Amino acid sequence: MQKIKIYDTTLRDGMQAEGVAFSVEDKILIARKLDDFGVDYIEGGYPQSNPKEEKFFARIRQIQFGHAKIAAFGSTRKANTSVQDDVCLRVLLASEAPAVTMVGKSWDLHVTDVLRCSLEENLAMCRDSVSYIKGKGREVVFDAEHFFDGYRNNPDYAMKVLRAAAEAGADAITLCETNGGSLPHEVFDITQAVVKEFAPLVIGIHCHNDADCAVANTLAAVRAGARHVQGTINGLGERTGNANLCTIIPNLTLKMGYETIGPEKLKTLTDLSRYIFDVANLTPAANMPYVGDSAFAHKGGLHIDALRKNQRTYEHIQPALVGNERRFLISELSGASNVLDKLEKRNMITDKALARRILSRVQQLENEGYQFETAEASFDLLIKKEMGQFTQSFELLKYHVDVERNTAGKLVTEATVKLQVDGRIEHIVSEGDGPVNALDGALRKALLPFYPNIADMSLIDYKVRVVNAKAGTAAKVRVLIESRDRQAIWGTVGVSANIIEASWLALVDSVEYKLLKDLQNA
């Protein structure tokens, strides 16, 4: 198998995504994770840009990496400046990074309108800068910025820029699709022409996603002969993002037969994706290919019936190859096969008549506004109820919620819950930040003497969705609650035209599931 070098730019391009900001510690943690994953290069950033980047390179040079090389990013010398006097080149060398990635202009429009120097001076800037850094013993990757636009506008000059870098000793030349507007057939044709002209020099590809073609363009370039691929984890990047390595790597490995990071490391891809989302404080994209929660989630009954017979029918790869897992969703679109699969996974009875009864109940509830895709704990309770194996842990007698603004202008929320547990009446009052928080507090206080284990349980997420928006203020709402204890995380759902009642239903399911789970694990 031919080897494709993987060059990760998450710590620079990824940082340019709106809403993303990594601390120095974040960047070091990510760099370690990327090294463990097996990428060949980790671009750390532009050392001159700010003190944080300087600190990162000072810290990172003290760390021994098992596989990856750290690369510092910068630009060629300024026009009419010697390489010895150029601040950027001096900072790149001071970073002590073993690899230096240097961006140079390859579109004549940028030379004349942005740099505002002659075309010949730009060639000299590229040639001098690469030669100087290479002469200092560093590996040099030359990023030909705006190459595809430049080639379309003035192919002779764009190729001269590459020739200048190649003759100066660049170890690899990367063709940058900086504006993200090229299509795969254009990238293939132009990359093929470059590879033919400069073989055996390593040619790379760096794509942005403005036309939603970054991944396709990257694969097209590899087909044309590129052997150095740049991108970011989860496709993070400026504007609409960069080429997504979480899609590119499995495509290259599993679909195209290239060597990238190895099959064992590939099994950690989903974990890496979620880790980067977590550090970036971003919600993971559920529909992301290969690594998203929905990548192998199946909802249609016909699909699931076929998958239970042969997994190849509706899945292009085995989820485990990229560290993901198959999920069968329960909804009104489900068939009996969905329910049977859920029963089997829970080691419950595999009775088709029972499955059809449960399915009928699910369809009825979803028609009322329920949704069980992210509320598996409520679905588990539904199964128990339909099987006649559920006994409620307490009986609600009444609840009351009061919200008032006091004389100091502060909102005060108070919930009263009256329950019967084991023949005893508990009448509890609790204050909270809001109605749901107050209800949750009162319910816990009432149950704690009977079920001490609920002290381990906490509510970690609360979502409200309007079910039938056209009904206006009379619309039903769906409340989804996520809870956790020391061992697990689970979701529950409640639906009502009253948001307090919907919240109560979801809260009760959450507590009942916790008690049932602990009883089964005892």
Render pLDDT for 404-423 as a digit per residue (tens, 0 to 9): 887 787 888 999 999 999 89
Phi, psi of 314 (to 5 degrees): -135, 20
Structure-token pair, residue 340: 């049977």
pLDDT over threshold 50, residue 15: yes
Residue (of 469, 458, 462, 455) closest to 504 by Cα position? 462
Q: Range with the lowest mean pLDDT among 142-146, 203-207, 392-396?
A: 392-396
Find tokens 């409340």 and name the residue. Answer: 479
Look at residue 328 in the predicted model and tell me its pLDDT: 64
pLDDT over threshold 80, residue 468: no
Section 227-249 average pLDDT: 96
Share of the chain above pLDDT 70, in %: 90
Section 221-247 average pLDDT: 96
pLDDT over threshold 50, residue 157: yes
User: What is the CA 468 to chain-centroid distance, rounded?
Assistant: 31
| Number of Cβ within a 10 Å radius of residue 28 | 18
Which CATH number is 5-279 given? 3.20.20.70
Domain with CATH 3.30.160.740 in the chain: 394-450
pLDDT over threshold 90, residue 161: yes
Look at residue 314 in the predicted model and tell me its pLDDT: 64
Residues 226 and 5: their CA atoms lie apart, in Å, by 10
Look at residue 332 in the predicted model and tell me its pLDDT: 47
Q: How do beta strands 395-405 and 489-496 pair?
A: unpaired
Q: What is the CA radius of gyration of the chain?
A: 29
Domain with CATH 3.20.20.70 in the chain: 5-279
Look at residue 90 in the predicted model and tell me its pLDDT: 93
pLDDT over threshold 70, residue 303: no
Residue (of 249, 253, 240, 190) closest to 214 by Cα position? 240
Look at residue 354 in the predicted model and tell me its pLDDT: 76
Q: Which of 249-253, 343-347, 464-468 ranks highest by mean pLDDT?
A: 249-253
Residues 458 and 384: their CA atoms lie apart, in Å, by 23
Look at residue 348 in the predicted model and tell me its pLDDT: 56
- Positions of E strands within 228-353: 228-231, 297-298, 327-328
Architecture of domain 394-450: 2-Layer Sandwich (3.30)
pTM greater than the 0.85 cutoff? no
Q: Range with the lowest mean pLDDT among 127-136, 239-248, 322-331?
A: 322-331
